[in-house]
């Protein structure tokens, strides 16, 4: 696993070349701005090593960020999770790790991409209006959805998977560029183990646990 995800190479490389050109053609001080951007892109596209403790009885956070909302729903808005369910919204700032991980083992049984607006990711309606990518993951009788939602700065959702692919718990499946949020919908028989305002880490923080 590389410490920087491949999507960052064009940004980092472009800033590196610009730093050299400006520093050589004008003055080293002129090259400070692209150099700072290069360092930021190295930071933004980081892919830290995570120790994934697999557990079929829990749902892991798919992303680093802050839990901004926990909503009880009578029905899944996307129709994949059957019966009453719970939606957990995780906001990722431009300083969070932006790679996304599968919350559980399972097979992708639903995949949808919606090309929409680019409103701020903390708005209540972004899950409907903004560009988003939805995965429905199934493992036996358990079904969940994970929705990557673009924000006002995020202009591209990256996915490495497709329909019928099998995912392992904690496995990388995509990322969103430059500030965004994720929504996880779980059936009501999964107890929520995080609270609004709590910081979570992708692949390590438990956000749900199967009820006995």
Active site positions, annotated: 180
CA-closest candidate to residue 170, choices 80, 45, 64: 64
Centroid of chain to Cα 112: 15
- The CA distance from 177 to 151, in Å, is 9
Backbone angles phi, psi at 67, to 5 degrees: -70, 115
Helix locations, the chain, DSSP H: 9-25, 32-44, 126-129
Question: Could you tell me the two tokens for 155?
Answer: 């202009």
User: Terminal CA-to-CA distance of the chain, rounded, Å?
Assistant: 36
For the four alpha carbons of 73, 75, 77 and 82, in that order, the dihedral sign comes to positive
Tell me which H or E stretch contains 168: none
């Amino acid at each position: 696993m590389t410490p920087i995800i491949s999507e960052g190479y064009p940004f980092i490389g472009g800033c590196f070349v610009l730093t050299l050109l400006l520093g050589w053609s004008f003055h080293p001080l002129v090259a400070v701005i692209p150099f700072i951007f290069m360092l930021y892109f190295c930071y933004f596209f980081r892919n830290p090593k995570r120790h994934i403790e697999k557990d079929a009885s829990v749902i892991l956070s798919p992303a680093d960020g802050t839990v901004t909302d926990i909503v009880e729903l009578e029905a899944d808005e996307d129709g994949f999770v059957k019966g009453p369910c719970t939606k957990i919204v995780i906001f990722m700032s431009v300083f969070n790790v932006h790679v996304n991980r599968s919350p559980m083992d399972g097979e992708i049984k639903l995949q949808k991409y919606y090309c929409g607006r680019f409103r701020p990711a903390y708005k209540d309606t972004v899950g409907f209006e903004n560009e988003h990518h939805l995965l429905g993951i199934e493992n036996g009788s358990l079904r969940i959805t994970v929705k990557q939602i673009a924000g006002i700065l995020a202009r591209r959702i990256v996915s490495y998977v497709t329909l019928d692919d099998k995912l392992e718990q904690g496995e990388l499946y995509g990322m969103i560029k430059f500030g965004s949020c994720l929504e996880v919908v779980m059936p009501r028989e999964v107890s929520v183990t995080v609270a609004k305002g709590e910081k979570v880490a992708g692949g390590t923080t438990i956000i749900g646990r199967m009820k006995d």
